[in-house]
Structures are given as structure tokens and as C-alpha cells.
A = this chain, B = another copy of it.
Amino acid sequence: MKNLRNSIVLATLLISLPALAQQAKPETFIKWRQSAYQVLVWNSYRIRSNLEGQYNRDDVIKAATIINALANGGLGGLYPAGTDKGKGWRDTTVKPELFHDGARVKELAGNFGREAEELLKVAGSGDAAAVKAQYGKLSQSCKGCHEDFKVKE
């Protein structure tokens, strides 16, 4: 029975080899996550531009939709084992703690997801003052994670 089970495990491993062969490299994951954060920076910039200049409801909704899609879209998958060091577009600025404190990561990621979802809801209202207030809360959730898990530059 144990041999049979081992054979099945081996057969499964062999069958999935082609897919595994295409597994992205650690450097690629680092590049992707650096890209994802830059997309967040871009859309933060869009929201700030709307708050400081001519307010365009549709533009704010689009920006908030992108932020929300990323914040609740599985960014954690961009931190597989082996990506604590390495160079994507540039050297990673992640702290090793991120790979060891799962509970804290989950808490902070949850905050970020909730604030982003709320921002999208508020964006729909077209109320610039409410967007400004919620954008402030979202920024705090970004900062919280940077303090714990991003090397100061």
C-alpha cells in the first residue's frame, strides 16, 4: 500500500513536471511585486491629483478599482520562498521578517484590503471630502506594512 501510494505521488510529480518547468524564477516574482507596488503608487498619484486639482469622479473610480483589485488580488503570492533576497527591476527592499511573521502579514494585508475596498465604495459616491478621508486611512495601512516589512531607503 505504501509503495502504491509512493508510485502515485511519483506519477503525479512526473505528470506535473512540464508545468513546474515553467515556474517563474525568484527574480521574476520580485520584478512583479515591485511592479505591482508602482501601479499602486501610480493610482495613488491619480487620486491625489484629483483631490488637489479638478475632481473627476470616473477617474477616481478607475484608480480605486485598480488599487482594490491589487489589494484583494493575492499580492501575497508574489512572496514565494526564496525571494527574500534578489534583484527584480532592482534589489528587493523586503525585510526577512515578512517570511517569518505570517500572522502579522495577514493582519496588515487584511487592513489594506479592507481600506481599499472602502475607498472604492466611497469613490462611487463622488464625494471628494469622503474620498480624501478614506484615502488617508488607506495610506496609513500602506505605511503600517512598510514600517514592519520594508527596508528604509
A interface: dominant SS: helix
A39/B32 in contact, CB under 8 A: yes
Instruction: Indicate with 1 or 0, residue by residue over A55-90, a CB within 8 angstroms of chain B CB atoms.
Output: 000010011011011101110011000000000010
From A3-11, A17-25, A134-142, the one touching the partner chain is: A17-25
Partner of A89, one of B32, B59, B74, B89: B89
Contacts of A41 in B (CB 8 A): 32
Partner of A36, one of B42, B48, B73: B42
User: Residue A35 at the B interface, CB < 8 A?
Assistant: yes
Q: Roughly how many angstroms separate A46 CA and B24 CA in the complex, as a whole number?
A: 10
Partner of A73, one of B18, B22, B35, B65: B65
Q: Roughly how many angstroms separate A4 CA and B53 CA in the complex, as a whole number?
A: 23
Closest to A48 in B: B22
List 13 A-B residue pairs with CB atoms under 8 Å apart, sorted by A's residue number: A18-B52, A19-B49, A19-B52, A24-B45, A32-B39, A32-B42, A34-B35, A46-B74, A59-B74, A62-B73, A62-B74, A63-B73, A69-B69
